[in-house]
């Protein structure tokens, strides 16, 4: 039997994005795979009074099981209320859906939003696939994110040898023919903790600063599609203090470089209304666990090391919401 997201107290992205574009801020889209990530996301969203997108990749479904993640999202709504938020605005979103069947399965099983990522396909195939998903999703008030342009690096199982920025001349045709509700674009971000090589960066006051995002392309896209919700993937900033902690306590992360937060703050003020962050949560969790393990070698109760991990992720989520995306106090 199908489960509608409405029964779970979740919302789709429609109203949330309209308000964010108008208000000049972005909604955080945090990936989650575990209960601790879910708890940290909900605590951060409630404390800051922020709407939030909790997103699940195909890999997350494989790791944690789709039914369990859906019920964690249901629990997230109830937990937010228990924490004192009367009307939580929580979206359960499929990140990088790679087929109609996967999107349909999520739509039929409690997701309020799905991404169909046909960005690696030839243009006409991307249009046809996105349109098919939109036609199905809209029957159930589920919103759809599609992507034009390919990010450098690895997009789940979608690999791209090089970055292909979104072509502004294609966006009107793509958005009109697919009917998608939001559009993920490629303007220089990429997935993971190694977005740039040191050789691509400039050394400023001892800090490696990567090349800026292509704000000119973003401006052209905004001009072609005024007010249309734009999404940025690959938006972790790879906090250097977390990288240093990981390396100090036995890790080995060489040259991990992310997107400077000032650039993300600037993008948030534009039509960019959804910013995807996964790697920063992984770093915050790993740094806290590595430190705890090193400092408490005799401990073996997972609650002992998962508690500081959860606290560290919560701190990071609050920082992003308040100091980078500006989605606090928007409920
Ligand atoms: O964009 C990719 C997300 O970071 C999800 O990654 O497929 O390893 O869960 P994952
Ligand atoms: P990061 O790897 O930069 O966190 O990007 C996450 C993302 O885009 C999920 O879709
Ligand atoms: Zn992504």
Pick the CATH number of 5-190+224-237+259-278+320-325 from 3.20.20.70, 3.90.660.20, 3.40.50.720, 3.40.30.10: 3.20.20.70
For residue range 173-183, list pLDDT tens digits in order. 999 999 999 99
> Which of 58, 62, 156, 274 for a ligand 1 pocket mutation test, highest count of atoms within 8 Å of Cβ?
156
For the chain, the first-to-last Cα distance in angstroms comes to 32
User: Which pLDDT belongs to residue 153?
Assistant: 61
User: Which pLDDT belongs to residue 163?
Assistant: 56
Listed residue (74, 113, 73, 76) closest to 97, CA to CA: 113
C-alpha 296 to ligand 1 mean position (Å): 30
C-alpha 96 to ligand 3 mean position (Å): 6
Q: What are phi and psi of 101, to 5 degrees?
A: -60, -40
pTM, two decimal places: 0.96
> Of the ligands numbered here, which is closest to the C-alpha atom of 58?
1
Buried b vs exposed e over 310-326: b needs ≥16 C-beta within 10 Å? bebbbebbbbbbbebbb
Are 27 and 327 a contacting pair, CB within 8 Å? Answer: yes
> Which of 149, 192, 272, 282 for a ligand 2 pocket mutation test, highest count of atoms within 8 Å of Cβ?
192
Any atom of ligand 2 within 6 Å of the Cβ of 236: yes
C-alpha 298 to ligand 3 mean position (Å): 38
Listed residue (102, 226, 139, 124) closest to 170, CA to CA: 124
Listed residue (86, 137, 113) closest to 29, CA to CA: 113
User: Which pLDDT belongs to residue 323?
Assistant: 98
pLDDT band (50, 70, 90) for residue 160: very low
C-alpha 278 to ligand 2 mean position (Å): 5
- Which residues are near ligand 3, the ion (C-beta closer than 5 Å)? 233
Residues 253-280: what's their mean pLDDT?
97
Q: Which of 110-119, 157-166, 193-202 has the highest mean pLDDT?
A: 110-119
| Percent of all residues in the chain with a pLDDT value above 90, rounded to a whole number | 91
Q: Is 95 a catalytic residue?
A: yes
Q: Whose CA is nearest to atom 9 of ligand 2?
A: 276
Taking 50 as the threshold, does the pLDDT of residue 157 lie above it? Answer: no
Task: Return d(Cα 136, Cα 152) in angstroms, integer.
Answer: 30
User: What number does the ligand 2 atom closest to the CA of 238 have?
Assistant: 3
Task: Return d(Cα 319, Cα 315) in angstroms, integer.
Answer: 6
For residue range 62-95, list pLDDT tens digits in order. 999 989 998 999 999 999 999 999 999 999 999 9
For residue range 301-321, list pLDDT tens digits in order. 999 999 999 999 999 999 999
For residue range 15-69, list pLDDT tens digits in order. 999 999 999 999 999 999 999 999 999 999 999 999 999 999 999 999 999 899 9
User: What number does the ligand 1 atom closest to the CA of 278 have?
Assistant: 4
User: Which pLDDT belongs to residue 45?
Assistant: 98
Using a 6 Å CB cutoff, which residues line ligand 1? 31, 57, 59-60, 95-96, 155-156, 191, 278
Q: State the average pLDDT for the chain.
A: 95
Any atom of ligand 2 within 6 Å of the Cβ of 153: no
C-alpha 157 to ligand 1 mean position (Å): 9
CA distances to 123, 243, 303, 331 from 119, in Å: 8, 31, 40, 32
Spans of all domains in the chain: 5-190+224-237+259-278+320-325
Task: Return d(Cα 204, Cα 64) in angstroms, integer.
Answer: 42
User: What number does the ligand 2 atom closest to the CA of 282 have?
Assistant: 4
SS3 string, the chain, reads CCECHHHHCCCCCHHHHHHHHHHCCCEEEEECCCHHHHHHHHHHHHHHCCCEEEEEEHHHHHHHCHHHHHHHHHHHHHHHHHCCCCCCCEEEEEEEECCHHHHHHHHCECCCEEEECCCCCCHHHHHHHHHHHHHHHHCCCCEEEEEECECEEEECCEEECCCECCCHHHHHHHHHHHCCCEEEECCCCECCCECCCHHHCEEECCEEECCCCCHHHHHHHHHHCCCCCEEECCCCCCCHHHHHHHHHCCCCCCCCECCCHHHHHHHHCCCEEEEEECHHHHHHHHHHHHHHHHHCCCCCCHHHHHHHHHHHHHHHHHHHHHHHHCCCCCC
Taking 60 as the threshold, does the pLDDT of residue 268 lie above it? Answer: yes
Residues 245-251: what's their mean pLDDT?
98
| Percent of all residues in the chain with a pLDDT value above 70, rounded to a whole number | 97
User: Which pLDDT belongs to residue 1?
Assistant: 83
Q: Whose CA is nearest to atom 8 of ligand 1?
A: 59
pLDDT band (50, 70, 90) for residue 159: very low
Taking 70 as the threshold, does the pLDDT of residue 161 lie above it? Answer: no
- The two three-digit tokens of residue 12, written as one number: 């789709």
């Amino acid at each position: 039997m199908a489960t509608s997201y409405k029964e779970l107290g979740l919302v789709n992205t429609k109203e949330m994005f309209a308000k964010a574009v108008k208000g000049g801020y972005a909604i955080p889209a945090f990936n989650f795979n575990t209960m601790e990530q879910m708890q940290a996301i909900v605590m951060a969203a409630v404390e800051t009074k922020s709407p939030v997108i909790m997103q699940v990749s195909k890999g997350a479904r494989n790791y944690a099981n789709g039914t369990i993640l859906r019920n964690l999202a249901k629990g997230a709504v109830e937990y937010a209320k228990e924490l004192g938020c009367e009307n939580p605005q929580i979206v359960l979103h499929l990140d990088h859906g790679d087929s109609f069947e996967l999107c349909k399965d999520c739509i039929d099983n409690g997701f309020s939003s799905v991404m169909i990522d046909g960005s690696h396909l030839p243009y006409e195939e991307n249009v046809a696939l996105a349109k098919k998903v939109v036609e199905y999703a809209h029957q159930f008030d589920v919103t759809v994110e599609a992507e034009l342009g390919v990010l450098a690096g690895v997009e789940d199982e979608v690999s791209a040898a090089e970055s292909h920025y979104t072509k502004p001349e294609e966006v009107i045709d793509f958005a009109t023919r697919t009917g998608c509700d939001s559009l993920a674009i490629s303007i220089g971000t990429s997935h993971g903790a190694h977005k740039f090589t040191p050789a691509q960066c400039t050394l400023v006051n001892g800090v490696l600063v990567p090349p800026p995002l292509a704000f000119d392309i973003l401006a052209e896209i905004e001009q072609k599609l005024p007010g249309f919700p734009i999404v940025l993937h690959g938006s972790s900033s790879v906090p250097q203090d977390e990288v240093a902690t990981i390396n100090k306590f036995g890790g080995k992360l060489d040259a991990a470089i992310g997107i400077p937060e000032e650039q993300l703050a600037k993008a948030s003020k534009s039509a960019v209304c959804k910013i995807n962050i996964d790697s920063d949560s992984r770093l915050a969790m790993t740094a806290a666990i590595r430190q705890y393990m090193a400092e408490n070698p005799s401990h073996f109760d997972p609650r002992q090391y998962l508690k500081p991990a959860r606290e560290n992720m919560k701190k990071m989520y609050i920082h992003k919401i308040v100091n980078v995306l500006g989605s606090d106090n928007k409920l």
